[in-house]
Amino acid sequence: MAKTVGIIGGTGGMGKGFAMRWARNHPILIGSRDAARAAEAAAAYQKEADAIYGVQTDITGGTNPEVAENSDILILSIPYGNIDATCAGILPRVGDGCTVVSPIVPMEKTDAGFEFIPMKHGAKTSHESVAAHMRDGGRGLVSAFHVISEKKLANPEVKLDYDIFVCGDDKLATDEICGFISEIEGLRPILLGPGKLAYMAEIATPLLLNAMIRNKMRNPGIKLV
Ligand SMILES: NC(=O)c1ccc[n+]([C@@H]2O[C@H](COP(=O)([O-])OP(=O)(O)OC[C@H]3O[C@@H](n4cnc5c(N)ncnc54)[C@H](OP(=O)(O)O)[C@@H]3O)[C@@H](O)[C@H]2O)c1
């Protein structure tokens, strides 16, 4: 069944990836702080998606609050440092049945490499930070997509063969997002557990990036075998 997928920060690299991969089956709303930037990105993604899939996709743009109000699934594709400023204005506006997804990685670059901000500074994980702004306390929040590179996601012609860790407290919501992950050919959802374990998925990104740099790899992903 088609569901409207809204992407907050949809003008960024990951936002394009989500839009391009799900536009074949679902209407997509691209959100931005700037409506004109959202419309421009949406038009460009739609042109590219139509050409690749050979069908007319439905990708439109709007402000972040407009997108939050009109989405069945809402992806928060924004940097960690902007969670509070962005979520305070939009998460109280989502519909009751809306599932919120966080791919947000709390990570910083230091002389040592990429480090995990919650461990280094005692700060909240992304999952905890987002949950604090939700009317249901984060029950409808699912953390996923931390270990797939935008470079791989943004071009549907690139073949994928990766696992995506999924954490959340509500079975209906995690099942729904696992279904959306499975719709993307070559991605397999791997449940890790409840939201309080989301830090394990979030920390996998600095792990991957450090391995990538030290071992001269290009945009690695994770696959459990
Ligand atoms: N890049 C990857 O390969 C990758 C992989 C896994 C997970 N992630 C995570 O996915 C999320 C999105 O990644 P990304 O690389 O697409 O991020 P990004 O390009 O840095 O930012 C995405 C969008 O967020 C909005 N934004 C930027 N600064 C903001 C601010 N100060 N306040 C509110 N909105 C702001 C911008 O949209 P507007 O200016 O249009 O509002 C921007 O296009 C991040 O949390 C990242 O950690 C990324």
pLDDT tens digits for range 138-154:
999 999 999 999 999 99
Give the closest residue to 162 by CA, choosing from 192, 142, 182, 176.
182
Asked if residue 91 is part of any domain, the answer here is yes
The string of pLDDT tens digits covering residues 101-138 is 999 999 999 999 999 999 999 999 999 999 999 999 99
> Could you tell me if 114 and 69 are in contact, meaning their C-beta atoms sit under 8 angstroms apart?
no
| Cα gap 41→63, rounded to integer Å | 12
Asked if residue 220 is part of any domain, the answer here is no
The CA-CA-CA angle for residues 7, 12, 18, to 5°, reads 45
What is the whole-number distance in angstroms between the Cα of residue 31 and the centre of ligand 1? 11
The string of pLDDT tens digits covering residues 42-95 is 999 999 999 999 999 999 999 999 999 999 999 999 999 999 999 999 999 999
Give the closest residue to 201 by CA, choosing from 147, 156, 157, 161.
147
- CA atoms in the 13 A half-sphere facing the CB of 189: 19
| Cα gap 205→24, rounded to integer Å | 28
- Domain count of the fold of the chain: 1
pLDDT of residue 1: 85
User: What CATH number does the domain containing 199 carry?
Assistant: 3.40.50.720
| Cα gap 190→144, rounded to integer Å | 9
Domain residues for the domain of 199 are: 5-214
Q: Residues near ligand 1 with C-beta < 6 Å?
A: 9, 11-15, 32-34, 37, 77-80, 82, 85-86, 103-105, 145-146, 149-150, 205
**Ligand 1, atom 46, residue with closest C-alpha:** 104
The pTM for the full model equals: 0.98
